[in-house]
A and B are shown apart, each in its own frame.
Chain A
Amino acid sequence: MAKKTNTSKKTAKKTKKKSSTRKKTARRSAVSKDRDTNTLNNIGSMATGVVKDSLAQTDPSVSIPLRTVTNMQFNKRRRILEMGDAAQQRALFNTGQARKFMQTILLAKGCKDLIEAEKTLSLRGMYYMSLHTIEGSKEKTFDDQSESDGILEDLEVSLNGLREELHVFAKKRGTMIGNITIIDNGDEIDCRRMGTGGYAIPSICEPDIIEFSKCEADFVLHVEKDTVWSRFNEDRFWEKHNCILTEGSGQPPRGVRRLLHRLNHELGLPIYCLLDCDPWGHYIYSVIKQGSINLAFESKRMAVPEAKFMGIRAIDFQRYDLSDDVKIALNDRDITRAKQIANYPWFEDRKDWQKEIKQMLKNNFKMEVESLITKDISYVSEVYVPERLKKKDFLD
C-alpha cells in the first residue's frame, strides 16, 4: 500500500509541474486539477495492483462492477437508480478474458497519457490512440471502435470516474437556448443570443468547464428532438415564458443529462419534459428522472428525480380533438415495451403513470409532439404548453 501512495504522489507532482507551465490551464479551476489527480491515482492503483499481483505470481485481475439489470437497484428514498456491489473479476489468465484484460490496461494507459497531456479525445480518437498491431502477431489491439467503447465504459465504472474525468468525450448532441449566461472553458456565452442554432451542449458539462454565471429563467423545458425545439425557438417561447429550452436529440446524451441535473440542483429550476406519447418517450423521461441502467453508477450526478412529464398525454387525442391522421399504430414491440416500463419499480407505484400507460395501450396508437401541428403551426408553443403550465398539469 505504501508503494501505491508513493507512485500516485509522484504522478500528482508531475501533473502539477506540467500544468503550471501551460497557459491554457490558467483558465481552469483548481477543481479540475484535483479531479485529474484523483483519476490518475485511481488509474495508478489499478495498474499497481496488476504489477504487484504479477510480481507476487498471483493471478492479476481487475475488478469491474457489473453494469447489468441484475446489479441495479432503485433507491426509493432518493428515487434514482443505483448500482449494486456485484463486480466481475477480469483476469489475465482466462482465455475468454485475456484480450479484454489487455485492452483495459491499454486504455487505462491511454487515459493516463491523455490526462497528463491535459487534452481530451473523442471515443473514436481514443480508439485510434490505443490501436496497433500486437508485437509478434497479426492481431490488432481492437477490432473496431465498439470494442474500445465498451472497455472505456468498464474503465469508467471500475475507476469510479466519469468518462469525462478520463478526458474522453462523445460526439456533441443536444442544444440549449434561454435566459442564462454560462462560462464555457473561460468563454462567456449568453444563451439569449444564440440565433436559430442555439448553444450546442458539450459532452463534458462538469462545473470546472461550464459555470453558470447569470440565470433569470424560471424553469427548463426539455423537448425530445431538434424539430420541436426549433418551433419553440422560432416562436421565442423562452423569452415569453422566461425559461431555458433544451433538446436531447432523442435519448439525451450524458452532457445534456448532466446539464439538466446541474440546472435543477444548483439553480433550483424545475425541469419539464415534452416528449412523444410512446414507450420510447416514456423511457426518455425515465432516464432523465431516474438514470439509465448502463450508467446507473452515475445516477446521483445525472438523474433529476424532480423532472416532470408534460406531454404528449394519451388523453390529448380526445382532449384536443385531434384528427385520426396523427394516430400511429402500436406494434408488438411497442406493446411489450410499454408493459415492461409499467413494471419498472419507479413507475409501479405511480398510479398516474399506470393510468397513462394503460390509456395508451387502450388507444392502441402513439402520437408524436408534431401531431399538434395539425391544429395549428404554433399550437404546441402557444396553446398546449402554456395551458399545461397554467394548469400545472404534469405527470410525476
Chain B
Amino acid sequence: MTTLTRPPKSSKSMAKRAPASNKKKETSSRATAESMAKQQREISVSEFFAKNRHLLGFDNPRKALLTTIKEAVDNALDACEEAGILPDLFVQILQVNESRFKVTVRDNGPGIIRTQIDNVFGKLLYGSKFHRMKMSRGQQGIGISAAGMYGLMTTGKPVTIISKTSKRKPAHEVLLKIDTSKNRPEIVSDTEHPEDDHLFNDGHGTQVVIELDGKYQKGKQSVDAYLEQTAIANPHANITYVSPTNETFEFPRAVKELPPEPKEIKPHPKGIELGTLIQMLERTKTTQLGAFLQKDFCRVGPGKAKELCSKAGITNRTWIKQVGHEQAESLYKAIQETKITSPPVDCLVPIGSRALLAGLLKEVKAEFFAAATRPPSVYRGNPFQIEVAMAYGGALPTEETARVLRFANRVPLLYQQASCCSFKAAIETGWRNYGMSQSKNSLPSGPIVLLIHMASVWVPFTSESKEAIADYDDIRKEMRLAIQECGRKLGTYMRRRKRMQHQAERRGIFARYIGEISKSCESITGTPAKKIYDALKKMADQKTAEADYQLDEEGNFVADDGLANDDNVVVLDPDQQVTPDQIETDLFGEPVGGKSKRGKKTRKKTRKKVTKKAGKKTLKKKTRKSTRSDGQPTLLGQENRKKKKKRIVKKKKVRRSRRA
C-alpha cells in the first residue's frame, strides 16, 4: 500500500491540472487511448488521503479535533513506552477563534533526532510500526502526519515540532509542511531553541503543535471523554489536560510500573494469504525452502518445515528460486491443512486486570468493579487477547443503558460503536442472568460501565480511521466469554447485595422492637430496661452481622452490606485472573482506589466486625480497615488479597468444573 495506482477520475483538482485546451477537446469528442494515457499518472498517498480524509477520521470539524489529539497522544504514549519511560503527557487545546484551535501535545519521551523529524511528521505511511508484527497503538504511520496535513489544509499553518533528545543537546524547533502531491516534507524553518528546554523537565521529549479548523463539544465523543478513557486504559500514564474552556484536568498515575515491552513476532503461517506468501518468497534472504519456512515464520521448526514441504510435494531442500506459482499454491494449501502451534503470545501485553481495575476505580465512581483477562487466542494467525472490566452501581446513572468503553491496544474507540465487534459481543451476552434488565438486541440498562480491551499485534479495524474493531467470530467469542466471566461476578454480587439488604432490613426490624420489649420487661420483672436492651441489641447485631460475615467467608468480595450509603460502597474483586508476575508488578504500583471514599458508617461497622472475630480473621479485617481508612490500600492489603485468593482457589475449582 505504499503507492496507489488508480485511473484518474474527473474531479476538480485533476481538472485544474489538465491543460485547458485538452479539456475543451475532451468535452467535444470522445477520448482516445492516447489522450487518456496522457492523464494517467501516479497519485501520491498524501494526495489520496487529502481527498479522502474521512478515511482517516477527519470527516467533520469535531472529529478532526479529536483525531488530531488522538494521533498525537497515541504517538506520545508509544514513544514513551518503547523507550521505557513512564509517560507524562501535557495536552492543551487553545481556541484561537470560533472554529480554529491550536493543539499542543507534549510528552517526556526519548525525543526524535533531527533527521527523522521530517519523515515522521511530513510523510504519510512512514513509520516503524507497519512492517513489524508488534503490539503498538499506531499501526500504519499515517496518523500524525495526516493530522498535520489536515491542519495545513484548513489553516495554512505549518506543524511545529520541538524535540529534545538529551539533556546535553538543546531543543530544536522544526516548522514543516507536507507537500501533498509528492508526499514529502517541506521544511519551513529549522532552529535550535535552548530557551524551550524548560518544557522538558526530564531532559527529553517532544512537543507537537498543530493549528486546525475544528469544533469543541463536550459529550461522549469529545476530547474530554477520549482522554478520560485513555487514562483508564493507561493507568501508568500521567496526563494533564487544558481544555478550550481553560479548565485543567489532571489524570494522575495509578500504576507506577510500565507495562512490559511487547515482543516482536514473525508472521504465523496460518495468518498469511497466498499473495503474501509469494511476496515473501520473492523477498526472502534465505535460499532453500526449509530455511525460508523456519526463519521467516514463527512456530515452524525443521520437522514442521519438512512436513509442510512433503505435503506440498516438494522437499525442504528445494531452492527458493525454483518455487513457482504452482508450488507456492500447493505449499499454501499444505499450510492450511497442517496443524501448526498457535503463535507465541508473549508478544501480547494486556493491560492486566489489576491495572484495569485501577484505571476504572480512578475514573468511574461505582460500587462494584470486576475484571477478567482471557487467555490469548488467535484470529487469522494473529494472536490477540481480550480483557473486560465492569463497574456497577454507585454514582452511575441508573436510567440509561450501559456505557461501553472500547479499547484497542489501549486506545479508546469513540466512534461507530454499533459496528464494533465488542458492542456486538456485549449485546449478545445474556445480561438477565446477572440480574440486569436487557431488551432484545440492545445493551443492558442500569448503572453499568463495560470496558472491553483488545490487545493484538494487528487489530483488525474496519477502516483506517481506527474507529471500530472488525467483527471476527473468534474475537467476538472471546469478548463474549470475558464479558460473561465478569457478568457472573456481577451476578454473584447482585445476589449478595440483595441478601445484604435483606439482612439490613432484618436488623432494622429487630432494632425497632427491642426498645419496646425491654421497657415492657422492666415493668413486669424489674430488671433494668437498659440491661435487657443492651443484651438484645448485642444479639440482634450478632444475628445480622453473622450473615454479613458469611458473605465475607465464602465470598470473593470485600463487601459492605450497603446499609444506608450505597453510594460510597466500593467493592473490590480480588479474584480476577492475573498471572503472578502481574500481581508482582501491581504490588509495586501506585495504590489502587484513591477515589474510593467510604462513609463513616461503613468504617465503624468494620471495626465492630474486627472486635467480634478473633485470630486470623481479625488480622485480615484489620488490614482491610487500614486500606479503607485512608482510602489507599497498602502493600500489605494487596498481599492479603493474594493470600485470600489462594484460600479460595479450591472452591473456585469446584465451581468451574461444575460450570464445565
Q: Which residues of A contact B (CB under 8 A)?
A: 7, 10, 43-44, 47-48, 50-51, 54-55, 57, 59-60, 92-93, 95, 98-99, 101-102, 105-106, 108-109, 112-113, 134-137, 139, 141
Q: Mark B516-553, 1 if CB is under 8 A from A, else 0.
A: 11001101111100011001101110110000000000
A105 touches B512 (CB 8 A): no
Is B102 among interface residues, defined by CB-CB distance under 8 A? Answer: no
A112 touches B512 (CB 8 A): no
Contacts A60-B536, A93-B510; is A102 near B517 (CB within 8 Å)? yes
Q: Which residues from chain A contact B535 at a C-beta distance below 8 Å?
A: 54-55, 57
Interface centre among A10, A51, A92, A99 (most CB of B within 10 A): A51
A101 touches B525 (CB 8 A): no
**Chain B nearest Cβ from A126, distance in angstroms:** 14
Question: Which listed residue, B505, B514, B516, B520, touches A47 by the CB 8 Å rule?
Answer: B520
**Chain A nearest Cβ from B612, distance in angstroms:** 13
| Minimum CB distance partner of B542 in chain A | A57
Question: Which listed residue, A51, A60, A92, touches B525 by the CB 8 Å rule?
Answer: A51
Is B513 among interface residues, defined by CB-CB distance under 8 A? Answer: yes
Is B515 among interface residues, defined by CB-CB distance under 8 A? Answer: yes
Contacts A47-B521, A60-B536, A112-B524; is A135 near B513 (CB within 8 Å)? no
Is B280 among interface residues, defined by CB-CB distance under 8 A? Answer: no
Count, chain B residues at interface, CB 8 A: 26
B525 touches A134 (CB 8 A): no
Within 8 A of A (CB), among B468-526: 505-506, 509-510, 512-517, 520-521, 523-526
Contacts A54-B536, A105-B517; is A137 near B512 (CB within 8 Å)? yes
Contacts A10-B526, A55-B535; is A141 near B516 (CB within 8 Å)? yes
Interface centre among B505, B523, B524 (most CB of A within 10 A): B524
**Chain B nearest Cβ from A325, distance in angstroms:** 59
Count of inter-chain pairs, beta carbons less than 8 A: 81
Known: A55-B535, A93-B540, A135-B515. 6 other contacts (CB 8 A): A10-B526, A48-B525, A51-B525, A95-B505, A102-B517, A106-B517
Contacts A54-B535, A92-B517; is A99 near B509 (CB within 8 Å)? yes
Q: Which residues from chain A contact B512 at a C-beta distance below 8 Å?
A: 134, 136-137, 139
A92 touches B516 (CB 8 A): no
Interface centre among A92, A136, A137 (most CB of B within 10 A): A92
Q: State in angstroms the CA–CA spacing of A242 and B352 once bound together.
A: 103
Q: State in angstroms the CA–CA spacing of A48 and B527 once bound together.
A: 9
Q: Which residues from chain B contact A92 at a C-beta distance below 8 Å?
A: 510, 513-514, 517, 536
**Chain A nearest Cβ from B527, distance in angstroms:** 5
**Which 3 A-B pairs give the minimum distances between C-beta atoms?**
A47-B524, A102-B513, A109-B520
**Chain A nearest Cβ from B500, distance in angstroms:** 15
**Chain A nearest Cβ from B525, distance in angstroms:** 5
B520 touches A57 (CB 8 A): no
**Chain B nearest Cβ from A119, distance in angstroms:** 16
Interface centre among B513, B523, B532, B535 (most CB of A within 10 A): B513
Q: State in angstroms the CA–CA spacing of A21 and B429 once bound together.
A: 82
B532 touches A55 (CB 8 A): yes
Q: State in angstroms the CA–CA spacing of A134 and B509 once bound together.
A: 11
| Minimum CB distance partner of A10 in chain B | B526
A98 touches B525 (CB 8 A): no
Q: Which residues from chain A contact B538 at a C-beta distance below 8 Å?
A: 57
Q: State in angstroms the CA–CA spacing of A141 and B512 once bound together.
A: 10
Interface centre among A50, A57, A95 (most CB of B within 10 A): A50
Q: State in angstroms the CA–CA spacing of A47 and B516 once bound together.
A: 13
B523 touches A95 (CB 8 A): no
A44 touches B525 (CB 8 A): yes
**Chain B nearest Cβ from A44, distance in angstroms:** 6
| Minimum CB distance partner of A93 in chain B | B543
Contacts A51-B525, A57-B535; is A105 near B509 (CB within 8 Å)? no
Q: State in angstroms the CA–CA spacing of A106 and B539 once bound together.
A: 20
Q: Which residues from chain A contact B517 at a C-beta distance below 8 Å?
A: 50, 92, 101-102, 105-106
Q: Which residues of B contact A (CB under 8 A)?
A: 505-506, 509-510, 512-517, 520-521, 523-527, 531-532, 535-536, 538-540, 542-543
Q: Which residues from chain A contact B509 at a C-beta distance below 8 Å?
A: 95, 98-99
Q: Which residues from chain B contact A134 at a C-beta distance below 8 Å?
A: 512-513, 515-516
Contacts A54-B536, A57-B538, A60-B536; is A105 near B510 (CB within 8 Å)? no
**Chain B nearest Cβ from A3, distance in angstroms:** 9
Q: State in angstroms the CA–CA spacing of A318 and B510 once bound together.
A: 65
| 26 examples of A-B residue contacts, CB within 8 angstroms | A43-B524, A44-B524, A44-B525, A47-B521, A47-B525, A51-B527, A54-B532, A55-B527, A55-B532, A57-B535, A57-B542, A92-B514, A95-B506, A95-B509, A99-B513, A101-B513, A105-B517, A108-B524, A109-B523, A112-B523, A113-B523, A134-B512, A134-B513, A134-B516, A137-B512, A141-B516
Q: Which residues from chain A contact B539 at a C-beta distance below 8 Å?
A: 54, 57, 59, 93
Q: State in angstroms the CA–CA spacing of A102 and B540 once bound together.
A: 14
| Minimum CB distance partner of B536 in chain A | A54
Q: State in angstroms the CA–CA spacing of A43 and B524 once bound together.
A: 8
| Minimum CB distance partner of A56 in chain B | B535
| Minimum CB distance partner of A109 in chain B | B520
Q: State in angstroms the CA–CA spacing of A51 and B540 once bound together.
A: 15
Q: State in angstroms the CA–CA spacing of A104 and B394 once bound together.
A: 42
**Chain B nearest Cβ from A291, distance in angstroms:** 31
Q: Which residues from chain A contact B510 at a C-beta distance below 8 Å?
A: 92-93, 98
| Minimum CB distance partner of B505 in chain A | A95
Q: State in angstroms the CA–CA spacing of A7 and B527 once bound together.
A: 10
B521 touches A51 (CB 8 A): yes
B520 touches A51 (CB 8 A): no
Question: Which listed residue, A10, A51, A93, A102, touches B516 by the CB 8 Å rule?
Answer: A102
| Minimum CB distance partner of B539 in chain A | A57
**Chain A nearest Cβ from B295, distance in angstroms:** 73
| Minimum CB distance partner of B537 in chain A | A54
A105 touches B516 (CB 8 A): yes
Q: Which residues from chain A contact B532 at a C-beta distance below 8 Å?
A: 51, 54-55
Q: Which residues from chain B contact A55 at a C-beta distance below 8 Å?
A: 527, 531-532, 535
Q: State in angstroms the CA–CA spacing of A55 and B518 once bound together.
A: 11
Q: Which residues from chain A contact B520 at a C-beta distance below 8 Å?
A: 47, 105-106, 108-109
Q: State in angstroms the CA–CA spacing of A112 and B513 once bound together.
A: 20
Q: State in angstroms the CA–CA spacing of A48 and B532 once bound together.
A: 11
**Chain A nearest Cβ from B509, distance in angstroms:** 5
Q: Which residues from chain A contact B506 at a C-beta distance below 8 Å?
A: 95
| Minimum CB distance partner of B508 in chain A | A137
Q: Which residues from chain B contact A137 at a C-beta distance below 8 Å?
A: 512
| Minimum CB distance partner of B520 in chain A | A109
| Minimum CB distance partner of B518 in chain A | A54
Q: State in angstroms the CA–CA spacing of A43 and B532 once bound together.
A: 17
**Chain B nearest Cβ from A187, distance in angstroms:** 34
| Minimum CB distance partner of B509 in chain A | A98
**Chain B nearest Cβ from A13, distance in angstroms:** 13
Q: State in angstroms the CA–CA spacing of A137 and B539 once bound together.
A: 21
Q: State in angstroms the CA–CA spacing of A174 and B506 once bound together.
A: 46
Q: State in angstroms the CA–CA spacing of A137 and B520 once bound together.
A: 18
Contacts A92-B536, A93-B510; is A109 near B524 (CB within 8 Å)? yes
A50 touches B516 (CB 8 A): no
**Chain B nearest Cβ from A209, distance in angstroms:** 25
Q: State in angstroms the CA–CA spacing of A136 and B511 once bound together.
A: 10
Q: State in angstroms the CA–CA spacing of A41 and B280 once bound together.
A: 103
Q: Which residues from chain B contact A60 at a C-beta distance below 8 Å?
A: 536
**Chain B nearest Cβ from A124, distance in angstroms:** 20
| Minimum CB distance partner of B543 in chain A | A93
| Minimum CB distance partner of B523 in chain A | A109
Q: Which residues from chain A contact B516 at a C-beta distance below 8 Å?
A: 102, 105-106, 134-135, 141
Interface centre among B510, B525, B527, B539 (most CB of A within 10 A): B525
Q: Which residues from chain B contact A109 at a C-beta distance below 8 Å?
A: 520-521, 523-524
**Chain B nearest Cβ from A91, distance in angstroms:** 11
**Chain B nearest Cβ from A392, distance in angstroms:** 54
Q: State in angstroms the CA–CA spacing of A51 and B514 once bound together.
A: 12
**Chain A nearest Cβ from B538, distance in angstroms:** 7
